Amino acid sequence: MNTLNNTTLIEIPKVHDERGSLAVVEKDVIPFEMKRVYYLYDVPSDSFRGGHAHKEQESVIIALSGSFEVIIDDGNDHKRIMLNKPTQGLYVPTNIWREIDNFSSGAVCLVLASTNYNENEYVRDYDLFCKLQRRTV
């Protein structure tokens, strides 16, 4: 069973010169093979996204622009992490509940995923998530 201890902040290498900065995401930076990339934008500041866990998908969440907070929860404990640097990603393994809120104006949230989309591997009910977590202890 994954716990909050299995989540981690990942530093994304960057190259900077007088023309600006370039961040590079390659296979040795992300702890899984990427199968899907998606991003959230134009999210109203009073809205939240996520509200689910994945049975199979691992993710890295990156604030490409602006800022937002990610609430991660393993069924026993939770914590809130501010993401506001395009060179830092939050690795979220399987079976960790996540919600994203407090989007700043112009925030862009990039998600790198280890699986193609499959609705059947989502857990969208928090009470069910907690029950499943207790079974794996």
Spacing of C-alpha 126 from chain mean position? 17
Q: 58-69: buried (b, 16+ CB within 10 Å) or exposed (e) per residue?
A: bbbbbbeebbbb
**Residue 23 phi, psi dihedral angles, 5° rounding:** -100, 140
User: Which residue type occupies 40?
Assistant: L
The answer to whether the CB of 137 falls within 8 A of the CB of 1 is yes
Which residue among 16, 52, 54, 78 is the active-site one? 52
Q: Is 52 labeled as catalytic in the residue annotation?
A: yes
Catalytic machinery residues: 52
